[in-house]
Amino acid sequence: FALLGKPGIAHRDLKSKNILVKKNGTCAIADLGLAVRHDSVTDTIDIAPNQRVGTKRYMAPEVLDETINMKHFDSFKCADIYALGLVYWEIARRCNAGGKCPEYQLPYYDLVPSDPSIEEMRKVVCDQKLRPNIPNWWQSYEALRVMGKMMRECWYANGAARLTALRIKKTLSQLS
């Protein structure tokens, strides 16, 4: 019988350190230790008994405030999209546009300590509803303008309102 495609996987610890760049310039996602797999036939989620919750700085609002629906696979995908938006922010802010290229910083570098607690992240992300700064000068460059808009749409407080991976792929393919 024919396979219906690849199994759905949500990473649950997506961050820049878990993205490897190959010699040919393509990327590979590493460290699947917290990943959950969705079985579309039985509609079940395979969650490892691992108690580690991921990297606090990259946790989506619904993970930080524990409102994520652990029984619904799409919830995990939405949380990954939030983290992906943070990774894109890390990349985009290093773009040399018009002679401007700020030094590397982690997301929320200006709002939380270097190793923030879940409570510190929850206050910033959920209570204060803050997100990484998108500089006004990005508006002067089409690619950065589009990236900034896309990031904001990855960071919505409501996970279901965030962009899908397919929408992100299509948006990025139009930039190149």
The active-site residue, picked from 13, 31, 39, 110, is: 13
Q: Look at the block and give the residue holding tokens 């204060």.
A: 128
3-class DSSP state of 155: coil
CB 25 within 8 A of CB 51: no
Active site residue 13: yes
Q: Look at the block and give the residue holding tokens 């960071």.
A: 155
Distance of CA 162 to the CA centre of its chain: 11
Number of H helices, E strands in the chain: 5, 5
Which residues form the catalytic set?
13
